[in-house]
Chain A
Amino acid sequence: MPKFKKVQLVLAGIFTILFFRFYHLQIYQHSKYEEKAGNNSVRKISIHAPRGIIYDRNGIPIVDNRQIYDLAVIPFDVTSQFDYQMVSKQTGVSSSELQEKITRGKESFHRFRPVPIKRHIDFETRSHLEENKLSLPGTIFSEFPARTYPDKAKLTHVLGYLRVVMDMTASIPNQGLEYKLGDVFGFSGIERIYESILRGNDGTEFRLVDIYGIDHGVYQDNPGQQPVPGKALHLSIDSKLQSLIEDLFSGKKGAAICMMPTSGEVLAFVSAPDYDLNSFAGPVPIELWEGWNSDPEKPLINRGIQGLYPPGSTFKLLAAALAKEDGVVDKNWTVNCNGVYTLGDRDFHCWNDAGHGTVNMDEAIYQSCNIYFYQLIQKLSYKNWTGMAEKFKFGVSSGIDLLGEKRGLVPGRSYMNRKYGKWGWATGNLLTFVIGQGDVLVTPVQVAQMMNIIATRGNTKTPHLLLDSPAEKISVSLKPLTWDFLQQSTWDVVNHKEGTGKAAKVIGSEVHGKTGTAQNPHGEDHSWFAGYLVKDNIPILSLAVLVEHGGKGSVEAAIISHKIFKYAQKNISL
C-alpha cells in the first residue's frame, strides 16, 4: 500500500472516532443532554396567587394584601458609582457591610446571582431607591406577599397571622397543600383554619434565563399554568361593633364575645390585651415574639377560647334550670338569706353580707343570692346538675372555627374522686360549684353560648366566624316552663329595680342577662356579664363579657355590655 494511502487511512480512522463521539452525545445521549440544557436555561417561575381577602359581614375588608419587597444586589452589575450611602440610609444596613458583601460577591463564581441585602422593605423605601436607580446599578427587588389590615377593627386573635415556610419539615398546618420554601402560610387564627380557601393555587411560568439571570421571555414550548387567586372570606364579624368593643377594652384585660343567638354567628370577638398584626410582615421578628411571650399580660393568649375562668354567678342559671325542669322545688319554695350559711363547721357567705331576706328562685337569680343556691343544690342530684351543665355545652369545646380552644371543666363525681379521693370532698364543694366557683372553669365563648341557648329556647347553632357556613345545629330540649323561667329571670336581672345587672339596661329594648363575679386568688375578682338583646321578639345579639379584675359583675362588665347592647339596638338586625 502506498504511504499516502496509509496516512489517509489513519486520518479516516481518527475522524471516524471523533464522529462517533459526537454521534454518541448527539443521538445516543441526546435526551439526557436536552434535559440538562433545559435545566440550565428554563426557569420554572412561580407566580404567586394572591391570598383571599377577608371581609366582615357587611363587606368591609379587614384583611387585604400588600406587597413588601426584598432588596438584593447582583454583584457583577455593581459599578464604582454605586451609592452605598443611599442604600445604607434607606435600609439601615451599614455601608461597610454592604461593601463587604458586594466585594465578596464579585469575587465569587456566582457573581451574577443576587445577594440579599435587606428583607421586607416597604413600598415607600422601594420607590425611593427606584428613583435613584441610576446611582444604584445592580439592585433588584423581589416581591413578597404580606397582609395589611385596613380596618380600625383589629380582631387580632381571630385573624391570626402568616408565616414563611423556612424548611419543609417544619409544622405546616395543611399537609394536603403543596408548599415551597419561601411560601407563606396561615399560622394561626382564621388564616390557618381557612388556609385552603384563602391560599389559592400558585401558577407557574417557564421562562428562558441566561447565565447572568437575565430574562429572555416566556419559553414557548411550555405555557405553564395560570395562578388561581385565593377566595375571599366573609366573616360574620361586624367590624364596627368589633372596634367599638376593642375601644371599650383599651387598658383592660378580658374578653368579649357577641353572637347572633339564632345562627351562632360571631359578631364580635375581643381578647384583650392583643398585639399589633401590622407591626410585622413576614416572619415575626424574634424580639417582638419574645416580648409578647414574656409579657405578664399574655397578649398571645386568645382569652375568648383559651382563657379559663370560674363562671361565677352566671352558673346559677344551671341549677335553677335543673330545679325547674325536674320540678324539685315549687314556686313558693323560699330561702331566708341572712348573709351567711353554715354547713358542718364551715361558713358560706352571700355576696351581700346584710342578706337578701326571704327570696324565691327568681329573686335569688336577679339579686344573685348565694344562700338560696347553697340550699337548692342540696336538693338536686349532683349527676343531673353536671348533666345540665353539659346540656348547656360546658366542659366541651364549643366547636368555634378557631384552633386551640380549651374545654373548661365541669367537675363530675368521677373527677372529684380522682382529684381529691373518694372521701376527700363533700357537699361543701358542691356549694362552691353551684355559684360557679371552686373547680369549675369555663371560657367566655361557652358562657356566650349558654346565652344563645337560653335566648333561642334551645335552638341555636355552633358558634362560627365564617358567614353563611353550614354550622351544626344545637338543640337543647327543656320544658317550655323552664325556658320561660330562664328568660324571665334573666330579664329581671337587668330590668328589675333590684337586679344586679341594671347597668346593662337599654331603654326601648328587651335585654336579658346575668352578672357574675369570679373569685380569683390573684387579686380583684373577675367581672362577668352574660346576656342577650331581643328586638321585635327575636333575639339578635347574645354576649359574654369578662373583665379580668373588674370587680363585681354589676360594674365593669355590665357597663361594657350596656354599650354593646345600645349599639346592637340600633345597628344589628337579622
Chain B
Amino acid sequence: MLRKTLVYNNILSKIFQVPDKIVFRWGILFPVLILMCISLITLKYTSVNSSFFSSTFTKQIVWFGLGSFVFVLAQWIRIQYFQEYAFHFYGILIIFIAITYIMPVIGGSQRWVIVGPFSFQPSEVGKLLLVFVIARVLADQKGNMNEIKLLLLILFMALVPALIVFKQPDFGTAIVYGFIALPMLYWSGIRSYYLFSVIAPIISIISAFNIYIFSIWMGVLVMVIYFNQPKITMGVPQFITNIGCGILSPFIWNNFLYSHQKERILTLLNPMRDPHGAGYQVIQSIIAIGSGGIWGKGIGKGTQTQLRYLPVRDTDFIVSVIGEEMGLLGIAVILGVFFTMLYWMIVYAGIISNKFSSLTLIGFASILFIHLIVNMGMTVGLLPVTGLPAPFLSYGGSFLLSCMLILALSTNIVNHHI
C-alpha cells in the first residue's frame, strides 16, 4: 500500500510541481483575449439561426472556459517532464497516428481514434509532442554531432509523422509537422545554408509547374550555392539534385498526391478553373474579403457571410467573415495582435538560456504561426485550401484547447525561467 502510494507520489511529483510564481505574461495573453473577442462576436452573428445551446457561439464560450481551466491547471506541470520523456511521447505519437489507419473513415479521411463514445484526433496534440522531441534532440547536442547529420535526423523525425498524417489524408497537419522543425533548427544554430539546401529541393519541385519561375529559381540557387559552397564537388551535385527534383515533379504529382489535393493546388493557380467546384470556396472568400473594404460592412451585415455564399464560415473561413464584416481594420487588428504575441514569444525564447525551453517556445510559436499564415493565405488565394483553422479565431473545441495548452505551457516555461 505504502509502496503503491510512493510510486504514485513519485509519478505525480515527476509530472507536477508547485509553480514558483504565476505571472500572466500580457504580451502573450492580451492578444489572445482580443482574438477570442473577435472570434466570439463573429460567431454570434454567423449562428443567429441556431438555438442558443447548439450555436457555435455558445459552444465556443464553453470551450474557451474549458481552455482557461486547462491554462490554469497547466501551470502546475513540471516542464522538464516533457524533456525527460520526449522520446516516449514521440513513440506514443507515432503509434496513435498509425492506429488511425485501422479506424473507420469519417468524411473521406482517417484522422480520428475512436474508443467507444469518445473520439480524438491524435495529430492535434501530436504537434506539441513533436516540438518536445525535436527540442530534446537539439538541446542534447553539445557540438558533438555533425551538423548535417543532425539536420537530417531532425528532418527524419519530423517527416515520419508528417507522411503518416499526409496519408490519412490530412495535408494541412502534414505541413505543420514538416514546417515546425525548420525554425527550431535555425534557432538551435544550424547554418542557414544547410537549411537552405534542405528547403531548396522542395521549392524546385513546386516551381517546376511553371518553367519561368523554375528558371528564376535555378538562377537564385546557383547564386546561393556559389557564394556559400566552397567545394565545387559539393556544389555541382547539389545543383543537379535540384534540377532532378524539378524533373521528378510531374512524377510526384501523378503518383503521390490525392486527387482532391491536386484539385486544390490547381485551383490555387487558377480559381476560375472550376468556379462551382474546388475554386468556389476561394472565389467566395476573396469576394467576401474584397467587398469588405476598409471598415467592413458591419458586424452581422456581410452579405457573403449571412446569405451563406461563404462556405465553412465558422471554421476554415472565419477570417473571410472578419474581412467582410470588419474590413481591413479587423484584419489589421488580427495581424497586429498576432504579431505581438509571436514577437513576445521570440523575445522570451531569446532570453531563456535553457536550450530545451527556449526551443520549445520557438516550436510553439511556429505552430501558431504556420496555422495562421496557411489559413489566412488560403482565404486570400495565396495558398491552397488545406483546412487548417486559424488559432483562437476558428470555431473548434479540440483545436482551441491545444492552442490554449500551447499558451499555458509557454507561460509556464516563461514563469519557470524568468
Instruction: Please list the residues of chain A having a beta carbon within 8 angstroms of any beta carbon in chain B.
Output: 2-4, 7-8, 11-12, 14-15, 18-19, 21-23, 25-27, 29-30, 32-34, 36-38, 40-42, 109, 208-212, 216
Contacts and interface: CB of A to CB of B under 8 A. Distances in A.
A23 B332 CA distance: 9
A37 B332 contact: no
Secondary structure class of chain A's binding surface, majority of residues? helix
Contact of A22 (B284, B287, B309, B331): B331
List 8 tightest A-B contacts by C-beta distance, closest first.
A33-B290, A4-B350, A210-B307, A37-B291, A41-B303, A25-B290, A26-B328, A33-B291
B179 interface: no
Contacts of A15: 335, 338-339
Nearest to A36: B287
A499 to B, nearest CB: 81
A3 B352 CA distance: 13
A8 B303 contact: no
Contact of B346 (A7, A14, A22): A7
Interface of B: 183, 186-187, 276-277, 284, 286-294, 303-304, 306-309, 323-324, 327-328, 331-332, 335, 338-339, 342-343, 346-347, 349-350, 362, 369, 373, 376-377, 380, 382
A210 B332 CA distance: 29
A22 B288 CA distance: 11
6 contacts: A11-B343, A26-B292, A27-B293, A40-B287, A211-B309, A216-B307
Contact of B304 (A25, A32, A41): A41
A22 to B, nearest CB: 5
A8 B343 CA distance: 6
A159 B373 CA distance: 70
A22 B350 contact: no
Contacts of B382: 18, 21
B291 A109 contact: no
B183 A7 contact: yes
B290 A210 contact: no
Contacts of A34: 290-291, 293
Contact of B308 (A8, A109, A212): A212
Contacts of A29: 290
A208 B382 CA distance: 30
Contacts of B331: 19, 22, 26
B311 to A, nearest CB: 9
Contacts of B362: 7
A29 B327 CA distance: 13
A66 B39 CA distance: 53
Contact of B291 (A7, A22, A30, A216): A30
B373 A18 contact: yes
Task: Name the residue in A4, A208, A210, A211 with the highest tally of chain B Cβ atoms < 10 Å from its Cβ.
Answer: A4
Contacts of A33: 286-287, 289-291
B276 A37 contact: no
A210 B292 CA distance: 18
B380 A25 contact: yes
Contact of B290 (A14, A26, A208): A26
B346 A11 contact: yes
